[in-house]
Amino acid sequence: MNTKTAVMKQTHQKKISVFAIVCRVVLIAMVVVWIFPILFSLMTSFKTLDEFFANIWALPKQIGIDNFVKAFSQGHIGEYFMNSIIIAACSLISIEIISTMAAYSLARLRIPCSGAIIMACFAIQLLPTETIIIPLYKMMSSMGILGVKYLPIILAYVGWSIPGTTVILKNFFDTIPKELLEAARIDGSGEIRNLFKIVLPLMKGALATCIVMNFTFVWGELMWANTATLTTTEGLPLTVGLMNFKGEFGTDWPLLCAAICMIIIPLYVVFLFLQKYFVSSLTAGSVKG
Amino acid sequence: MTGRKVEAGRAGISTTRKLQLIGGLFSLPALAMVMFATIIPVVWNIVLSFNEWNGVTDMQFTGFSNYKALFADDASMKAIGYSLVIALIATVVSMAFGIITSLLIYKVTRVEGAIYRFVFYSPVMLPLSVVGLLFTLVLATDEGLLNNMLAAIGLGNLQQAWLAQKGLVLVVIGIVQGWRSSGTVMMLVYTGLIGLPTDLFESSKLDGATYKQEIRYIILPLLRPTIQLALSMCVMSAFKTYDIVFAMTGGGPGDISKTAPLKIIEQAFMFNKYGLASANSVFYALIVVIILFILRKGIGGEKYEY
């Protein structure tokens, strides 16, 4: 009896360990697939073009930063980076301020039919951008905004991001106890002060979530950025500039890799520290979908 | 006494009014921006689709002729078809990868799981266009990583011009797109998984259920709503077929990967056929919205309480 249970236990354990090994092998293989292209492009970015064509597997003879320098001097990547940062900063600040005010009024300022407005926000998000860009381009061109550096891109990003951000922030405001605000109101605190002095300190997490969500959109968007800058070479964001790279330099792979790395590596660093907010931005946008 | 009550009542009404007024004021900027950037363009787009317009002269109302032209135009229909193919493949790939990885990660230790999740989720935050460029390097015919790798392990006869063959190019783009968004599915399903009560698994362990059985009879049925949500998010991102296609092939070679968004932009800004382009985009949007609607409402099924 005793031995029997022991044997049973042993086989059971063996089974689990086999599964655990298979599980890890599959996972590690997938990790390799996931990060290999990135490591490879990092390696390639240090090579010269001749080295690359001679043997794509060989390690670079020396860690040269020529490609990175070239990406700055010939490829204007520094300029594109600055443009992207300006666009992202302006868009994010406007989105967060405007959405916070709208969400606050929807949640706590007794706006009629706020439920219907939230539904409308959801519906707007389902629309593909393709239905918007043609008239928007024409509107902006007839209003003369299109020629202004950065402005057409920022305006569109702000307008497109507000509904989703407002929904997330409204859900958050709903969790703040009404009594807190009522008490402040009785004490004679104005609404703007309520919002910025009482509510805002409580919502750092929610706001960070929204900022991360909006940032990934604004930083990576290509279709509108490309369309809005069709007639100009001024103020191109990084995504558009990167495409010019591919055209301008044909198949200078090491240079392209250097450019890709310069975009990817900072993103990975940011992601490493803010992973929590990336994940919560994913789940926050999807509650009650 | 009564006077004070009335006063209080009046004050109550006026606070509500006052708050509403402030609320209206607070939401005015948001309303203006959304009107400007979304609602007016969408309405105008629909109007435009019933008109003939070259962008310079006055619009001419032509009824449904743009739609007739659109349905008769082979290239436009093909472009929409390409988008659908890419979206379908991307959805299938990301759902499969996402669910499998989350189920595997659930079984490893905490620290390991955190590393795997970081790696698998990281492509989601990379811009689609950068992912596209990265994979042009992987998939290039002569100097591409994949072809060289195949040659190195003696499978040289499997080498392909991945981005230059009709049909294959769509499959490849779909897989890359799905690869990128599989992290979303993984994260959602994993979050659902760790939310399941552990006593369910304890009792199934006592009954001697294997992990496979647990997946089939406990995990998948209970996570049905989560998976459904992940599916509709996946489909939504899978229909964004501009960025990645533009970065990987630019719609070429020829027209073999020209998806609907690329076609719409070409019709509008290269050929100045704004009416046709609008009709095309309205039709495309209808397809996307209908599919999303079916996914959200159509496959309801029973939900389990636990």
Q: Cβ separation of A112 and B292 shorter than 8 Å?
A: no
Determine, yes or no, domain membership for B40: yes
Report the pLDDT value the prediction gives residue B56, as an integer from 0 to 100: 75
CATH number at residue B101: 1.10.3720.10
> Span A20-34, mean pLDDT?
88
pLDDT exceeds 90 at position A287: no
Chain A interface mutation, best of B18, B25, B38, highest count of A Cβ atoms under 10 Å: B38
pLDDT exceeds 70 at position A11: no
Q: Are B14 and B139 found together in one domain?
A: no
Q: How far is CA A155 from CA A162, A221, A224, A238, B116, in A?
A: 11, 14, 11, 18, 38
Q: Are B131 and B248 found together in one domain?
A: yes
Q: Are B133 and B275 found together in one domain?
A: yes
Q: Where does the pLDDT of residue A151 fall: very low under 50, low under 70, confident under 90, or very high at 90 and above?
A: very high
**Where does residue B131 rank: exposed (0-12), middle (13-18), buried (19+ CB within 10 A)?**
buried
Q: Cβ separation of A110 and B19 shorter than 8 Å?
A: yes
Report the pLDDT value the prediction gives residue B302, as an integer from 0 to 100: 54
Q: Cβ separation of B126 and A267 shorter than 8 Å?
A: yes
pLDDT exceeds 60 at position A139: yes
Report the pLDDT value the prediction gives residue A16, as an integer from 0 to 100: 62
> Span B121-135, mean pLDDT?
89
Distance of CA A29 to the CA centre of its chain: 27
Q: Does A41 touch chain B (CB under 8 A)?
A: yes
Report the pLDDT value the prediction gives residue B6, as an integer from 0 to 100: 45
3-state secondary structure of A288: coil
pLDDT tens digits along B59-71 = 888 888 889 989 9
For chain B, helix (H) and strand (E) counts, in that order, are 15, 2
Q: Cβ separation of B26 and A19 shorter than 8 Å?
A: no
Q: Are B20 and B106 found together in one domain?
A: no
Name the minimum distance, in Å, from the CA of B31 to any CA of chain A. Answer: 8
B271 CB contacts (<8 Å, ≥6 apart)? none
3-state secondary structure of B249: coil
Most confident range (mean pLDDT) of A61-65, B8-12, B276-280 is: B276-280
Q: Which of A140, A156, A171 has its CA nearest to residue A223?
A: A156
Q: How far is CA B48 from CA B45, B218, B286, in A?
A: 5, 51, 16
pLDDT exceeds 50 at position A2: yes
> Span A106-127, mean pLDDT?
84
Query: Which residue of B37, B118, B129 is in closest CB contact with A159?
Result: B37
| Tokens matching residue B296 | 């959200």
Q: Cβ separation of A135 and B265 shorter than 8 Å?
A: no
A14 CB contacts (<8 Å, ≥6 apart)? none
Question: How far apart, in whole angstroms, are the C-alpha atoms of residue B137 and residue A252?
Answer: 11
Report the pLDDT value the prediction gives residue B77, as an integer from 0 to 100: 93
Q: Are B32 and B149 found together in one domain?
A: no
Q: Are B84 and B125 found together in one domain?
A: yes
Determine, yes or no, domain membership for B58: no
Q: Are B143 and B271 found together in one domain?
A: yes
Closest chain B CA to residue A286: B229
- Rg of chain B over Cα atoms, rounded to whole angstroms, equals 26
Report the pLDDT value the prediction gives residue B2, as an integer from 0 to 100: 43
Percent helix, strand and coil across chain B, each rounded to 5? 75, 0, 25
pLDDT tens digits along B32-62 = 999 999 999 999 999 989 988 877 777 888 8
Question: How far apart, in whole angstroms, are the C-alpha atoms of residue A112 and residue B21?
Answer: 11
Question: How far apart, in whole angstroms, are the C-alpha atoms of residue A128 and residue B289?
Answer: 8
Lowest mean pLDDT among A150-159, A200-209, B151-160, B220-229: B151-160
pLDDT exceeds 80 at position A150: yes
Q: Where does the pLDDT of residue B262 fall: very low under 50, low under 70, confident under 90, or very high at 90 and above?
A: very high
pLDDT exceeds 50 at position B3: no
Question: How far apart, in whole angstroms, are the C-alpha atoms of residue A278 and residue A275?
Answer: 5
Per the listing, tokens 């790798």 go with B149
Determine, yes or no, domain membership for B7: yes
Q: Answer for the pair B253, B166: CB distance below 8 angstroms, yes or no.
A: no
| Tokens matching residue B259 | 């998806």
Which domain range does residue B34 map to?
2-48
pLDDT tens digits along B282-303 = 999 999 989 988 887 755 555 5
DSSP string, chain A: -HHHHHHHHHHHHHHHHHHHHHHHHHHHHHHHHHHHHHHHHHHHHTS-HHHHHH-SSSPPSS---HHHHHHHHTT-HHHHHHHHHHHHHHHHHHHHHHHHHHHHHHHHS--TTHHHHHHHHHHHHHS-THHHHHHHHHHHHHHT-TTSSSHHHHHHHHHHHHHHHHHHHHHHHHTS-HHHHHHHHHTT--HHHIIIIIIGGGGHHHHHHHHHHHHHHHHH--HHHHHHTTT--SS--HHHHHHHHHHHTTT-HHHHHHHHHHHHHHHHHHHHHHHHHHHHHHHHTTTT-
Cis amide bond preceding B253, omega within 30? yes
Give percent above pLDDT 90 in chain B.
31
Q: Where does the pLDDT of residue B88 fall: very low under 50, low under 70, confident under 90, or very high at 90 and above?
A: very high
Between helices A2-45 and B145-152, what is the axis angle to 10°?
120
| Tokens matching residue B140 | 């290039």
Looking at the structure of chain B, the number of domains it has is: 2
Q: Are B191 and B290 found together in one domain?
A: yes
Q: Are B43 and B75 found together in one domain?
A: no
Find the DSSP H helices in B35-109. Answer: 40-48, 65-72, 74-105
Determine, yes or no, domain membership for B56: no
Sequence length of chain B is 306
Q: Cβ separation of B108 and A251 shorter than 8 Å?
A: no
Determine, yes or no, domain membership for B306: no
Q: Are B139 and B195 found together in one domain?
A: yes
Q: Are B40 and B80 found together in one domain?
A: no
Determine, yes or no, domain membership for B70: yes
Give percent above pLDDT 70 in chain B.
93
3-state secondary structure of B171: helix
pLDDT tens digits along A37-92 = 888 888 888 888 778 877 777 777 777 778 888 888 887 888 898 999 999 999 99
Name the minimum distance, in Å, from the CA of B245 to any CA of chain A. Answer: 11
Q: Cβ separation of B264 and A57 shorter than 8 Å?
A: no
Distance, first Cα to last Cα, chain A: 56
Determine, yes or no, domain membership for B53: no
| Tokens matching residue B22 | 């402030």
Determine, yes or no, domain membership for B17: yes
Q: Does A120 touch chain B (CB under 8 A)?
A: no
Q: Does A4 touch chain B (CB under 8 A)?
A: no
Q: Are B12 and B109 found together in one domain?
A: no
Q: How far is CA A179 from CA A67, A176, B11, in A?
A: 60, 9, 18
pLDDT exceeds 70 at position B5: no
